[in-house]
Amino acid sequence: MRSRTNGKTEAAPSSLEGSPAGSPEGPPCDVLVVGGGVIGLVTAWRAAQRGLAVTVVDPEPGGGAAQVAAGMLAAVTELHYGEQTLLGLNLASARRYPDFAAELTEASGQDIGYRACGTLAVALDADDRAHLRDLHALQVRSGLTSEWLNGRECRRLEPMLAPGVRGGLRVDGDHQVDPRRLAAALVVACERAGVRFTRAWAQALSVVRDRATGVVLADGTALAAGQTVLAGGSLSGRLAGVPEEVTAPVRPVKGQVLRLTVPRRYAPFLSRTVRAVVRGSHVYLVPRVSGELVVGATSEELGWDTTVTAGGVYELLRDAHELVPGITELPLTETRAGLRPGSPDNAPLLGPTALAGLHLATGHHRNGILLTPVTGDVMAHALTTGELPDEAAAFTPRRFTSAHLNSSKHLTELSA
């Protein structure tokens, strides 16, 4: 993956920063979710379905990284060395997607663009081919279904591929969803389930006698809650008033993404998600039924910078063009950058923290859209029982507290 670090870390937006927390006032709800991206929304929806009174605090629910993300559900093709524990959670969420999509469509009356299209990951030169062979071996060792194809077989599946494609992996289980539709449907499903929305910025966490008791908004209004969930994506670590030892260790990882449109006369341009390693860089092309073609993504460590750069657009188009030369004929309709919430081990932080009443649902990094269904279930379980279900035990935020780091096997497992 392209990585760029220039040592420059821009100041975070002031939205989650502010004055010390005051005492909460007003009628308390059971659960206050800070952040109305897909992770906060799915947490709110699932918690409301379990009978909890839930409020989401966000000036623009349904916004955030989902407005940029491509929506690949790529548990197998995006497997990385050292992420075996995360793989289990990714697969658990991928398995949930068909039922989750059907339920959410029913609950919201909106289609979320879930498409069981499969994925083809290809290589363009000998080094890329060696890289993909290694990935295939890792997939097979991990018990995953992935078939090696030669170049001709790849082009038979996707005739728009460049003649130089050397081979690839056919992964019929890696699908896609439309993250913008997903976010919009979750907002409606939440509303219909009785979730209340406070369209404002949370300024500070309120803590009374070693317990989180809600948040104070930017205008000074205090909202009280039995439990507070920080689900603010890459900003989750910036809320004032959160004690240092339970602050979410997340950082923004910038991704630039392009959207093109396939005119009807060119359809079907691609029939499935196509991704590639092009001379060491990763690029993916996600074709939607609507004709939208999403091309992503850079991976840059530049703080809270969401500038779309000429270099980012150039690199993505250059690599996409090597892979599918016909792409340069298509209208370029949108360029945008978003921020992945990166955690120290690339895995999410889910459930109760060491501060009573405070939960985290953040740090999903490259897998926020994929992990949306399982995150909703895990968080609803944690909010109703106080415990993480077994399938998510390794993702406790407590793995990053210092006492835990000295004794825990979690990190070793995640980085082995």
Note the residues at the interface with ligand GLY (CB under 6 A): 72, 78, 255, 296-297, 340, 366
198: β partners:
57
End-to-end CA distance of the chain: 20
Q: Return the number of the residue (357 or 368) whose C-beta is nearest ligand GLY.
A: 368
The residue to which tokens 């449907």 are assigned = 185
Minimum gap (Å) between residue 255 Cβ and ligand GLY:
5
Residue nearest to ligand GLY (CB): 366
Minimum gap (Å) between residue 50 Cβ and ligand GLY:
29
Q: Return the number of the residue (112 or 224) whose C-beta is nearest ligand GLY.
A: 112
Minimum gap (Å) between residue 297 Cβ and ligand GLY:
4
Minimum gap (Å) between residue 368 Cβ and ligand GLY:
8
Q: Return the number of the residue (72 or 149) whose C-beta is nearest ligand GLY.
A: 72
Q: Return the number of the residue (4 or 199) whose C-beta is nearest ligand GLY.
A: 4
Minimum gap (Å) between residue 369 Cβ and ligand GLY:
8
Q: Return the number of the residue (232 or 296) whose C-beta is nearest ligand GLY.
A: 296
3-class secondary structure for the chain? CCCEEEEEEECCCHHHCCCCCCCCCCCCEEEEEECCCHHHHHHHHHHHHCCCCEEEECCCCCCHHHHCCCCEECCCCCCCCCCHHHHHHHHHHHHHHHHHHHHHHHHHCCCCCCECCCEEEEECCHHHHHHHHHHHHHHHHCCCCCEEEEHHHHHHHCCCCCCCCCEEEEECCCEECCHHHHHHHHHHHHHHCCCEEECCCEEEEEECCCEEEEEEECCCCEEEEEEEEECCHHHCCCCECCCHHHCCCCEEEEEEEEEEECCHHHCCCCCCEEEEEECCEEEEEEECCCCEEEEECCCEEEECCCCCCHHHHHHHHHHHHHHCHHHHHCCEEEEEEEEEEECCCCCCEEEECCCECEEEEECCHHHCCCCHHHHHHHHHHHHHHCCCCHHHHHHCHHHHCHHHHHHCCHHHHHHC
Minimum gap (Å) between residue 253 Cβ and ligand GLY:
8
Q: Return the number of the residue (49 or 119) whose C-beta is nearest ligand GLY.
A: 119
Minimum gap (Å) between residue 367 Cβ and ligand GLY:
6
Minimum gap (Å) between residue 360 Cβ and ligand GLY:
20
Q: Return the number of the residue (86 or 242) whose C-beta is nearest ligand GLY.
A: 86
Minimum gap (Å) between residue 83 Cβ and ligand GLY:
12
Q: Return the number of the residue (83 or 203) whose C-beta is nearest ligand GLY.
A: 83
Rounded to the nearest angstrom, the gap between the alpha carbon of residue 324 and the centroid of all alpha carbons in its chain is 26
Beta strands at 292-296 and 349-352: parallel, antiparallel or unpaired: unpaired
Q: Return the number of the residue (371 or 380) whose C-beta is nearest ligand GLY.
A: 371
| Rounded distance between C-alpha atoms, residue 279 and residue 290, angstroms | 31
